[in-house]
Amino acid sequence: MVNQLLGVSSESEVNEMAGFFSDFVNGCLSIPINLPGFAYHTAMKARESIISKINKTIEMHREEGDSDVSNGVLRRMLEEESLPDDAVADFIINLLFAGNETTAKTMLFAVYFLTHCPRAMNQLLVIDETLRLGGIAIWLMREAKDDIEYQGYVIPKGCFVVPFLSAVHLDENMYKGAMSFNPWRWMEPENQEKRNWRSSSLYTPFGGGARFCPGAELARLQIALFLHYFVTTYRWRQVKEDRMSFFPSARLVNGFQIQITRRND
Ligand code: HEM
């Protein structure tokens, strides 16, 4: 992802960015105390380092023209000159967050669910069920552009509305045994229409409407490739009890510790 966005390919530079980015993500949803020793402080420092790295890359591009920044999204943005530099840096960080954490965590949850349900090997069913039960985006944010009447209530223009995706995805009335991992539910005729993640209103892991996730297809492809490779190449064993929590966002409370060995069959 770093390579695609910044056009940086040296392993040490990618690893350095990955380290900053991991600190940034870990502190993003923490108590906002900006003092040394707090996760939030570490995250803010990491964000500064990421921005400084992006700015250096921009400078290099301007000084040397077509060099290291040859193929990334960053180069395209600089060529188009449509955004100021600070907005370019924010955009890149946003894409790193939107495109990396989400997919990586969904892969993690898929392996977690598979550990407890090894019979479920149909990748697409597993991906759909993982996105329902372990959806990364728990809620969205919308603003009413006009007065809206909905089920007898009026939502006045300018009000913020928070559609709670997991409240629907985990609702017993919508999904029988909603809290259990059951990929076969998606084969039931009553769920066929619901399963369409592009248009369904009861299954929206990638949001909906004008802000629908632009990375949805890419993410599903990446997860399918990962699962295929992982399941056919490795065996794994869970070494510590774990469980899902949805606060402050979907996560495995003990970080899902597993021991991996290469398959030799
Ligand atoms: C499993 C993986 C992913 C999930 C669950 C996911 C989910 C979402 C959701 C729920 C939204 C909000 C949609 C809305 O407001 O209606 C969103 C927005 C977005 N996603 Fe993803 N996403 C994933 C992967 C990706 C990837 C791989 C990329 C890019 C490479 C990406 C880029 C974005 C961007 C740029 C937005 C903002 C769109 C806008 O506001 O117009 N996402 N994503």
Does ligand 1 come within 6 angstroms of the Cβ of 103?
yes
Q: According to the model, what pLDDT value does residue 249 have?
A: 76
Q: According to the model, what pLDDT value does residue 78 have?
A: 85
- Domain holding 78, by residue range, is 1-82
Q: According to the model, what pLDDT value does residue 34 have?
A: 94
Closest ligand 1 atom to residue 218 Cα is: 27
For residue 2, how far is its CA from the centre of ligand 1 (angstroms)? 17
> Model confidence over 140-193: pLDDT tens digits?
999 999 999 999 999 999 999 999 999 999 999 999 999 999 999 999 999 999
- Judged against a pLDDT cut of 90, whether residue 254 lies above it is answered with yes
Contact 8, 72 (CB under 8 A): yes
Closest ligand 1 atom to residue 211 Cα is: 41
Question: How many domains is the chain partitioned into structurally?
Answer: 1
Answer yes or no: is 26 within a domain: yes
Question: What's the rounded Cα separation, in Å, for the pair 256 and 258?
Answer: 6
Answer yes or no: is 19 within a domain: yes
Answer yes or no: is 102 within a domain: no
- Judged against a pLDDT cut of 80, whether residue 65 lies above it is answered with no
Q: According to the model, what pLDDT value does residue 66 have?
A: 55
Pocket test for ligand 1, best of 162, 164, 166, 213 (most atoms within 8 A of CB): 213
Pocket test for ligand 1, best of 102, 124, 138 (most atoms within 8 A of CB): 102
What mean pLDDT is reported for the chain? 90
Answer yes or no: is 145 within a domain: no
Does ligand 1 come within 6 angstroms of the Cβ of 214?
yes
Q: According to the model, what pLDDT value does residue 83 have?
A: 87
Q: According to the model, what pLDDT value does residue 99 have?
A: 86
Does ligand 1 come within 6 angstroms of the Cβ of 133?
no
- How many alpha carbons lie under 13 Å from residue 187 in its C-beta half-sphere? 8
Q: How far is CA 111 from CA 27, 68, 119, 196, 230, in A?
A: 25, 36, 12, 23, 9
DSSP 58-103: HHHHHHHSSSTTSSSHHHHHHHHT-S-HHHHHHHHHHHHIIIIIHH
28 labelled ligand-binding: no
Answer yes or no: is 228 within a domain: no
Answer yes or no: is 100 within a domain: no
Strands 244-245 and 251-252: antiparallel
> Model confidence over 66-101: pLDDT tens digits?
555 456 888 888 888 888 988 999 999 999 888 888
The two tokens of residue 9 are 């390919």
Q: What's the average model confidence in pLDDT over 184-205?
A: 94
Does ligand 1 come within 6 angstroms of the Cβ of 102?
yes
Contact 229, 114 (CB under 8 A): no
Does ligand 1 come within 6 angstroms of the Cβ of 140?
yes
- Judged against a pLDDT cut of 70, whether residue 104 lies above it is answered with yes
- Judged against a pLDDT cut of 90, whether residue 202 lies above it is answered with yes
Answer yes or no: is 191 within a domain: no
- Judged against a pLDDT cut of 80, whether residue 121 lies above it is answered with no
Answer yes or no: is 28 within a domain: yes
Closest CA to 90 of 58, 61, 138, 137: 58
